Structure 1
Amino acid sequence: MKATVLVDNIGNENTAGEWGLSFFIEYGGRKVLLDAGASGLFAENALKLGISLAETDYAVLSHAHYDHADGMAEFFGQNTKAKLYLRESCKENCYKEEEGGWKYIGIRKGLLEKYADRIIRVSGDLEIEKGMWLIPHKTAGMERAGEREHMYLRDDDSCAVDDFSHEQSLVFDTGDGLAVFNSCSHGGADNIIAEVSDTFPGKKVRLMAGGFHLYNKSEEYIRNFAEKVRATGVEQVWTGHCTGEEAYQILREELGGMVRQLKSGAEIHFG
């Protein structure tokens, strides 16, 4: 399995960065796009990296936030065959409560309707192809994460704390163990590793990749989180985006070389 970061907060000399995340993953002869960042930048970077989005077989949306979904219109323009897999509960209704009022942080309005014929809504566990799975949250009390982050689901006649039922993990079963991708891990990377481990008894999660939403957390919280991750037994951690630079450095202090940094153009080889 090979995963290329098409866009992350941090760029490099050849590929630019933005607040968002997108992976291009090659596995078992198939090509998968996980998220598309906040704009068309992921596609510009893909071109520079020699990656053809037109050859993508599947697209996956990790959760219903703009910084992962808003590049999808560009993807659909370049690719005419791949379906986009997202959770059944995905809507254009994600908001964050701030001092000045409500800030919309969801999928660009109208995108889900415009591309409805390209979308497959998923409930429960789904094996897209042999060894390639979509796994939802199974941990109770996920609404606590929504409360902590002041994130809500708002419609014309309702408002509820976000329970991240629209978030999912993309899991690859390789010959060397399980590789888990969850782009923001709002439900907690430690919880996600446990969820996946419980879903696949007898198989070990060896790699966890994605943002961990630690950019706004205290040092104490981050160090405690690092201990929880260590306790899972995971061997490789690739993180960036909403983890934040300060949190990344603390994770490196606590977990050492098992932690590596995502950035535009980076490659992950596993299995």
Structure 2
Amino acid sequence: MIPRRRLLQGSAAAAAFACTGFPAGAATPRIEAPEVDSLSIQVVTDGNHDVFISGAQVPGVRIERVRGFRGAQERRVLRSEWGLSLWMASTRGAETKRLLLDFGWTGETLNNNLELLGLDPASLDALVASHGHLDHFGGLEGFLEKHRARMKSDLRLYLGGEDAFCQRVSPAGNGAFASFGRLDRSMLAAARVTPVLSEEPLVIEGHAFTTGIIPRVSQERVLPNTSVVFGQQDGGGCDVSKYAEHHFTPAELAGTPVPDQHLHEHATCYNLKGRGLVIVTSCGHAGILNTMSQARAVTGVKKIHALVGGFHLAPAPQDYLDRIMAELKRQDIDHVFPMHCSGPNFLEAAKREMPQALVLCTTGSRFAFGA
């Protein structure tokens, strides 16, 4: 476990930490990232559905767009909302594994889109939650209510750490806060879903892997978002006793909301045979450069085939965005798929600075790699 103060503090110890991504004297956790032969990622929920978006011709990637529906479904449409949910299917030899990464804001939208896209939850091998924000786990309860009975009995939900269960709040004015949701552990237990928490990298179902906790080694910082309330309230929340080495302050232990550093947020990745890493950031609060650095460090694979998901650059000041874009251009990345919180500012910058790598995304789009 990485002490949280070592992760964030600006001290001499943190300087040693920044060189390696882990505290001085500690080795970077390594995993043997399994190679997959092919991977498809379908956007089940995102912020918009553009029926006119181009299919695009991208070397090494087959892109499918959803225009509309016919027959019994012709009066129905894909719904879009603030949130993200991705259906990911990978093959390794004769074996196929399917994961659902994040669940959008509401179960109504998630369930509607899964049905229209012809995606059967009964075929899922595991679930993954990237972090404890309502726009990423909000649809989980409604999804499980509708589909759990038909899914595998030993269903697992992979999470990056205990503080995924913390209460999140957002400013409501005059020093007050409004709830931004809390992932309910008792709901998971009632649905017979087993949480798998790991701050270290972890292989999922023999195909994918998580980055584990993402060290802050670049110029990036966590841009404004929610505050977090550590500890347990009303029978829920996160158990700080499981994080003795994280050194919570008295104010945090007393339940004072503090700016959320997303220590538990992880990325979900694949090692695509002959192509390199496909890194899915979901929201990327820890920074997309930091996330790429961690994925490389834990696998030893340097080539990045695709960077996919939310990059949380929508609230970025222009000078900050320019610096991140300049560094991103220096990376060896074939394709960039910005979604969700990446922001129109990032899209404009990418069109200008990385047009050969940029792929536009919309609800319903499917991207097939290595096929």
Output the TM-score relative to the length of structure 2: 0.67
The 10-residue stretch of structure 1 (9-18 or 24-33) with the greater mean CA deviation from structure 2: 9-18
CA distance in 2, matches of 1:203, 1:140: 18
Q: Which residue does the alignment assign to 1:129? A: 205
Counting strand residues as a fraction of each chain, which structure ranks higher?
1
Matched, 1:9 2:47: yes
Matched, 1:34 2:34: no
1:203 is displaced (CA, Å) by 4.1
Q: Which residue does the alignment assign to 2:351? A: 252
CA distance in 2, matches of 1:150, 1:16: 25
Q: Which residue does the alignment assign to 1:96? A: 170
CA distance in 2, matches of 1:244, 1:203: 27
Q: Which residue does the alignment assign to 2:22? A: none
Matched, 1:59 2:59: no
SS at match of 1:178: strand
Cα distance change of structure 1 residues 194 and 63 upon mapping to structure 2, 3 Å threshold: same
Matched, 1:179 2:278: yes
Matched, 1:152 2:214: no
Kindly indicate whether structure 1 or structure 2 has the higher relative contact order, using CA contacts under 8 Å at least 6 residues apart: 2
Q: Percent identity?
A: 23
CA contact (8 A) 1:131 1:174 kept: no
Which amino acid letter does the alignment assign opposite residue 63 of structure 1? H
CA distance in 2, matches of 1:42, 1:230: 34
Matched, 1:188 2:256: no
CA distance in 1, matches of 2:301, 2:229: 40
**Aligned residues, how many?**
267
CA contact (8 A) 1:190 1:232 kept: no
Cα distance change of structure 1 residues 61 and 150 upon mapping to structure 2, 3 Å threshold: closer
1:11 is displaced (CA, Å) by 1.5
Which amino acid letter does the alignment assign opposite residue 254 of structure 1? E
1:85-107 CA deviation, whole Å, 9 max, x = no partner?
Answer: 11232113122335342132233
SS at match of 2:326: helix
1:167 is displaced (CA, Å) by 0.5
Structure 1 gap ranges (5+) = none
CA contact (8 A) 1:223 1:254 kept: no
Which amino acid letter does the alignment assign opposite residue 267 of structure 1? R
Q: Which residue does the alignment assign to 1:217? A: 316
Larger radius of gyration: 2
The 10-residue stretch of structure 1 (71-80 or 61-70) with the greater mean CA deviation from structure 2: 71-80
Matched, 1:163 2:261: yes
Q: Output the aligned Cα RMSD.
A: 2.1
1:129-155 CA deviation, whole Å, 9 max, x = no partner?
Answer: 32311112331489x845x41532214
CA distance in 1, matches of 2:214, 2:79: 35
Q: Which residue does the alignment assign to 1:87? A: 160
CA distance in 2, matches of 1:45, 1:186: 26
SS at match of 1:258: coil
Q: Which residue does the alignment assign to 1:69? A: 137
SS at match of 2:283: coil
Which amino acid letter does the alignment assign opposite residue 228 of structure 2? L
Q: Which residue does the alignment assign to 2:54? A: none
Which of structure 1's runs of 4+ aligned residues deviate more than 3 A?
97-100
Which amino acid letter does the alignment assign opposite residue 151 of structure 1? T
